[in-house]
Amino acid sequence: MGTIQEFAVLRFDARAEVSPRGDIVDAVAAGVNFLGEELEASYSEIERKVADRTAELDVMTHELTRRTLHDELTGLPNRTLFWDRLSHRMSLADRRHSCFAVILVDIDKFKETNDTLGHAVGDELLIDVAMRIRSVLRVGDSSARMSGDEFLVLLDDVGSPEAALVLASRLNAALREPYEMGPDRRSITTSMGVAVGPEGFAEADAMVAAADAAMYEAKQRGPGQCVLYSEIGRN
């Protein structure tokens, strides 16, 4: 590249008296100048192609990063990104005095939907559930698809466990509204487990495990239930 640039800026203004030797000098100067112009044009084309390729690589890198950290079906963040966000929120516990909460959402009898209506309808249901979860969340909250029919929600700022339950109930109500499933409109229920931090949780794995345990307790109590982890064993 450097050599091309050096040749590209060469310009010769040599002039000689009219003679056979002078004609040779003029021809050489014209040839060198022509070569410089061609090299300059070639270099500009190379610069353009490099810039275009760099832009393409930036887009590809961004898309690869997005796919690495997001669920392909629903577009929600995946486990990896959710764990990162939850870990970051937990690291701020000493500086922020408000509580935060993790909600684990599981669609009740989702396997029956897949078995009776087909996987395509099941996928559409998962997409619709993801959209409804997004619509309910506040600024600063996060959501993710954990796996299968399980979703995670991070409530960034809640005043108390009771406040976390109120937000979970609002989410539960939104998810109960009927869905288009094939030719029909049907409702679903979800079981939810809620873990409120920061007390008692040293890392993200422990907090999600607590929300998972609360969700299974909710399932034991019947469809559409929501249980706080701190209340397990009290009833």
Question: Residues 203-211: what's their mean pLDDT?
Answer: 95
Q: Are 171 and 153 in contact (CB under 8 A)?
A: yes
Cα–Cα distance, 143 to 75 (Å, whole number)? 10
Q: Give dist(CA 106, CA 207) in Å, integer.
A: 16
The residue that leads in pLDDT, 127 or 98, is 127
Question: What residues does each domain of the chain span?
Answer: 2-69, 79-231
Average pLDDT of 71-88? 94
Strand pairing partners for 227? 193
Please give the backbone phi and psi of residue 179, each rounded to the nearest 5 degrees, phi first: -120, 150
Q: What is the dihedral of CA 233, 162, 150, 234, to 10 degrees?
A: 10
Is residue 149 part of the annotated active site? The answer reads yes
To the nearest 10 degrees (0 to 180), the angle between helices 119-136 and 110-117 is 140
Q: Note the pLDDT of residue 124.
A: 95
> What local confidence, expressed as pLDDT, does residue 108 receive?
95
Contact between 175 and 187 under an 8 Å Cβ cutoff? The reply is no
- State the Cα torsion 117-123-124-126 to the nearest 10°: 110
CA distances from 11 to 31, 35, 43, 47, 158 (A): 10, 10, 16, 21, 72
Residue 134 in this model has a pLDDT that exceeds 90: yes
Residues 142-169 have a mean pLDDT of 94
| Sequence-ordered alpha helix ranges (H) in the chain | 2-8, 20-69, 79-91, 110-117, 119-136, 161-176, 204-221
Q: How many residues does the chain have?
A: 235
Are β-strands 226-228 and 190-197 bridged in parallel, bridged antiparallel, or unpaired?
parallel
Q: Does domain 79-231 have CATH number 3.30.460.10?
A: no
105 half-sphere exposure, CB direction, 13 A CA radius:
28
* Mean pLDDT calculated for residue range 185-208: 92
Confidence of residue 15 (pLDDT cuts 50, 70, 90): low
Q: Say what the pLDDT of residue 232 is.
A: 83
| pTM tops 0.75, yes or no | no
**Torsions phi, psi for 6 (to 5 deg):** -60, -45
For 19-73, write each residue's pLDDT tens digit: 555 555 555 666 666 666 777 777 777 777 777 677 666 656 555 555 678 999 9
Candidate list 149, 156, 157, 184, residue with the active-site label: 149
Q: Does pLDDT of 122 surpass 60?
A: yes
Residues 6+ apart with CB under 8 A from 218: 191, 192, 193, 225, 226, 227
Which tokens hold the place of 73? 């079906």
Tell me what pLDDT residue 40 has: 73
Confidence of residue 233 (pLDDT cuts 50, 70, 90): low
Kind of pairing, strands 99-107 and 190-197? antiparallel
Structure tokens at 178: 């009927």
pLDDT at 94: 80
pLDDT confidence of residue 63: 53
The pLDDT of residue 61: 58
Q: What is the mean pLDDT of the chain?
A: 83
Tell me: pLDDT of 182 over 70: yes
